[in-house]
Amino acid sequence: MKRTQRAKRTKRTKPAQRILMKGNVAICEGAITAGCQAYYGYPITPQNEIPAYLAKRMVELGRVFLQAESELAAINMVFGSAVAGARAMTSSSSPGISLKQEGISYLAGCELPAVIVNVQRGGPGLGNISGSQGDYFQATRGGGHGDYKNIVLTPYSVQEMYDLTILAFDLADKYRNPVIVLADGVLGQMLEPVTPSTISHQPIAISKDWALDGCKGREPRKIRSLLMAEGALEEHNWKLNEKYSKIKKNEVRYETYNLMDAEIVLVAFGIAARVGKGAMNIARGKGYKVGLIRPITLWPFPEKIISDTAERLHSITQSLNHLTTFLVVEMNLGQMLEDVKLAVSGKVPVEFYGRPGGGLVTQEEILEKIKQISK
């Protein structure tokens, strides 16, 4: 199992001070620690703390902050700063992220690094401003036009809002690919202590020998996704596919809890995992053998741990004749559910509990579902 970046960073020499902050602010501090040089945003609830906080901090640090005229403009400003070789970020919430999809597709096509934060709210349409997880498909399937992939990181605590934002910048540069931090409105507003990184995260030394900064002393460069020559586009897409395979191989991240003897395995991400973890602990107290798999990367999806677990659950059922099952919990109508089902591949049942935009899942509801399944 690949540990989270945070886990790695806990091996520090002197204990760092813990600071109480809101999830949205943790994203800002993560971006600043990661050496984000430019931020472009447009107001939308529930992420308004991000542009408000960065408007001050980025300017204090002599970095770029700009309130764009729309999300379309903001993502294209990110595109421009990425073209110039800078670490750039934008943030928004669901309706605004829909507007950014064209730009994200261009970032993917042009192989430009960028960080896009989605503090999800309920949809469809204007929906409402309460936290939700309805944008899983949009984030993990590409979202815009064309055959591309975003790296999708999903935090479940304020600490992870901070840590995964830092990681997002590193991965974006490493793979020259857009990275989405898929958070939600609940986490955005949550207050928790954060241990800031004691490691310097200034832009890692990746030479951006493709960036446009004027052709002094070198041949001119161009950045484009238009490939009209015979076979050129297909070749480009195969090349992207090779990169995606590498990401799948190297960057899967997840955490597991109580998996050893679990017979009911929850699979949940983000805030649903947070609630699910609480439900798991209560259920354990009541004697239910419940475990939890929490994907941290939604793309690449941690399919192996799920299929391995499915294998194990299947053999428990075979040998002990115990009921075993997965229980996917999401704050939507069942989106990650499809990926879990693919990984489980029919070996054991996959149950689902979810509430769509406007609803929050609770520990009691999950517990009820666990009891129901166990009957």
Partner 1 sequence: MKKIFSRPESLKETQHLYCPGCGHGIIHRIIAEVADELNIREKTIGIAPVGCAVFAYDYWNFDVTEAAHGRPPAVATGIKRVLPNRIVFTYQGDGDLAAIGTAEIIHAANRGEKITVIFVNNAAYGMTGGQMAPTTLIGQKTLTTPFGRNAERDGYPLKICELLSSLEGVVFLERTGVNSPENVLKTKKAIKKAFQNQIGNSGFSLVEVLSQCPVIWRMGPVESCKWIEKVMVKTFPLGVFKDTNRHE
Would you tell me which residues interact with partner 1 (CB under 8 A)?
37-38, 40, 64, 66, 68-70, 72-74, 76-86, 88, 102-103, 106, 110, 212-217, 220-226
| Cα 263 to Cα 259: distance, rounded to the nearest angstrom | 8
Task: Specify the DSSP class assigned to residue 67.
Answer: E
Q: Supply the minimum distance, in Å, between the C-beta of residue 227 and partner 1.
A: 11
Q: Supply the minimum distance, in Å, between the C-beta of residue 223 and partner 1.
A: 4
Q: Decide whether 25 or 77 has the Cβ nearer to partner 1.
A: 77
Amino acid at 375: K
List all residues 6 or more positions away from 123 whose beta carbon is below 8 Å from its beta carbon. 94, 95, 132, 134, 135, 357
> Among the residues of 251-302, which ranges form H helices?
270-285
Q: Supply the minimum distance, in Å, between the C-beta of residue 94 and partner 1.
A: 21
Q: Supply the minimum distance, in Å, between the C-beta of residue 34 and partner 1.
A: 15
Contact in structure between 129 and 45 (CB atoms under 8 Å): yes
Neighbours of 228 (CB within 10 A): 6
Residue carrying the six token digits 């931020």? 39
Q: Decide whether 103 or 185 has the Cβ nearer to partner 1.
A: 103
Q: Decide whether 219 or 261 has the Cβ nearer to partner 1.
A: 219
Name the strands in the sheet holding 290-295, side by side, starting at the edge strand that comes first in the sequence. Answer: 254-257, 290-295, 264-267, 325-330, 350-354
Q: Decide whether 65 or 257 has the Cβ nearer to partner 1.
A: 65
Q: Supply the minimum distance, in Å, between the C-beta of residue 218 and partner 1.
A: 9
Q: Decide whether 99 or 282 has the Cβ nearer to partner 1.
A: 99
Token readout for 48 is 């308004």
